[in-house]
Amino acid sequence: MRSNSGSAWASKSIADPARTGAAGAGETARQALTLARMNANSPLCLRLDSEALVSNWRALDRMSGSAACGAAVKADGYGLGAEAVVRRLTEAGCRDFFVATWAEAERLRGLAPSLSVLHGVRAGDMAAALESDARPVLCTPEQVLRWKDAGGGPCDVMVDTGMNRLGISPEDAVSGLLDGLALETLISHLACADEDSPMNAVQRARFAALAGRTPARRMSLANSCGIALGSGFHFDLVRPGIALYGGALVPALAPVVRQVVQPRAEILQRRRVAAGESVGYNAIWRAEADTEVAILNIGYADGYFRAFSNSGAAFEHGRTLPVIGRVSMDLTAIRVDAAPHLAEGDRVDIDFALMDAARQSGMSPYELLTAMGQRYSRQWSE
């Protein structure tokens, strides 16, 4: 597995409060300055590869032929930081972005050329929705009527073609329910795009049957894996998420999807563990001989799950440094006999090649990314 050492991640992304102008006077300015310093000095870092992100989007865009290629940036851009993702993909030419909630939409105000909110409009969302630039993806007949009654503007509609998650039925979609809506995109979602399943053709056929029978200007079916199912699934717009962020869930995506996320942790303490002694909770690792051990500032609260206990690894200059013992909430031990020079304050890359990490932990790449949490400084390469 590849270690992303090198100079691409020069800490250029650290916010300079004087430049951002985010802080007001007095206390706020002092807090912003303190935060910026803490961030600059953050001992736990998520290095994010801008070029890989953009390259992944371009590859998916190419695979999608004449269909437009959007981006799902819900759950804070799958944990990478939605704002940073939207800025980079917009610059690359992406226009259509998808979030789950109105709070997520609010954080992207003014950044995304086109933004859709997948949860639609609950009654409690109406004030925010009517005032927002984002469009609701209306997903129940009640939501459709609510939006019409309020004289809401452009919207999208989710139609359920077999997943039985969100969406109005195909029958309702052609019943006249949607008449009068400023319907931008009719959307449906594939249940089994990452498998060779008969469900894919069934959903595709049900969706294609709606073409020209609703007021929709565009139609959109495919997520990341749906793109790999071929041109019959592309319609007018595709909505990849996980593949943008390094998740190649089907073989066809593996050659084009690059790793974007690289966690980097710091050694808080180096110690020699004597033969017969154990390391960590429940003493699940025991030294057969005297062993050099480093304690890292990363744990399951950072999405580095207990499944990596006694099985994960860190990298340092191409050397593999295995995780030993149980991963704790904020700490993980690695074996460093192979790296005698490593000392307190040094940093190592965590082995986090996404699909390998998913296999190894038994978790999905979606879960691994969205669990990364708030303790990392997120540093984008330029």
Active site residues: 74, 281
Q: Is 38 annotated as a binding residue?
A: no
Least CB distance to ligand PLP at residue 221 (A): 9
Least CB distance to ligand PLP at residue 279 (A): 37
CA distance 212 to 233: 16
Residue length of the chain: 382
Minimum CB distance to ligand PLP smaller for 169 or for 310: 169
Token code pair at residue 227: 């793109």
Write out the binding residues for ligand PLP, residues 236-295 only, by CB under 6 A: 239-243
Q: Which of 118, 248, 250, 295 binds ligand PLP (CB under 6 A)?
A: 118
**Which phi-psi region, left, alpha or beta, contains residue 162 (left: φ > 0; alpha: ψ -120 to 50)?**
left
Minimum CB distance to ligand PLP smaller for 45 or for 108: 108
Beta-carbon contacts of 169 under 8 Å, excluding residues fewer than 6 positions away, are 159, 160
Write out the binding residues for ligand PLP, residues 300-319 only, by CB under 6 A: none
Least CB distance to ligand PLP at residue 64 (A): 12
Minimum CB distance to ligand PLP smaller for 43 or for 240: 240
Write out the binding residues for ligand PLP, residues 347-366 only, by CB under 6 A: none
Beta-carbon contacts of 343 under 8 Å, excluding residues fewer than 6 positions away, are 267, 270
Q: Decide the pairing of beta strands 313-316 and 183-187.
A: unpaired
**What is the separation, in whole angstroms, between the first and last Cα of the chain?**
23
Strand partners, 264: 45, 349
Write out the binding residues for ligand PLP, residues 119-138 only, by CB under 6 A: none
Token code pair at residue 57: 């989007």
Q: Is 378 annotated as a binding residue?
A: no
CA distance 232 to 193: 13
Least CB distance to ligand PLP at residue 239 (A): 4
Q: For residue 243, which of 204, 194, 178 has the smallest C-alpha distance?
A: 194
Minimum CB distance to ligand PLP smaller for 189 or for 326: 189
- The angle formed by the CA atoms of residues 172, 177 and 181, to the nearest 5 degrees, is 130
Write out the binding residues for ligand PLP, residues 199-228 only, by CB under 6 A: 223-224
Least CB distance to ligand PLP at residue 106 (A): 19
Write out the binding residues for ligand PLP, residues 149-208 only, by CB under 6 A: 189
| 286 CB neighbour count, 10 Å cutoff | 14
Quick check: 234 binds ligand PLP (CB under 6 A)?
no
Question: Which residue matches tokens 């650290």?
Answer: 14
Least CB distance to ligand PLP at residue 78 (A): 7
Q: For residue 322, which of 282, 355, 351, 286 has the smallest C-alpha distance?
A: 351
Give the number of residues in contact with ligand PLP, rule: CB under 6 A. Answer: 11
One-letter identity of residue 309 = S
Least CB distance to ligand PLP at residue 144 (A): 17
CA distance 252 to 233: 15
3-state secondary structure of 19: helix
Minimum CB distance to ligand PLP smaller for 100 or for 126: 100
| Side-chain half-sphere CA neighbours of 185 within 13 A | 27
Select the span of 42-50, 84-92, 140-148, 235-243 touching ligand PLP (CB under 6 A): 235-243
On whether the CB atoms of residues 84 and 54 are closer than 8 A, the answer is: no
Minimum CB distance to ligand PLP smaller for 152 or for 241: 241
Minimum CB distance to ligand PLP smaller for 75 or for 294: 75
Write out the binding residues for ligand PLP, residues 63-82 only, by CB under 6 A: 72, 74
In this chain, which residue has its C-beta nearest to ligand PLP? 241
List residues binding ligand PLP (CB under 6 A).
72, 74, 118, 189, 223-224, 239-243
Annotated binding site: 165, 329
Q: Could you list the residues known to form a binding site for substrate, using ranges.
A: 165, 329
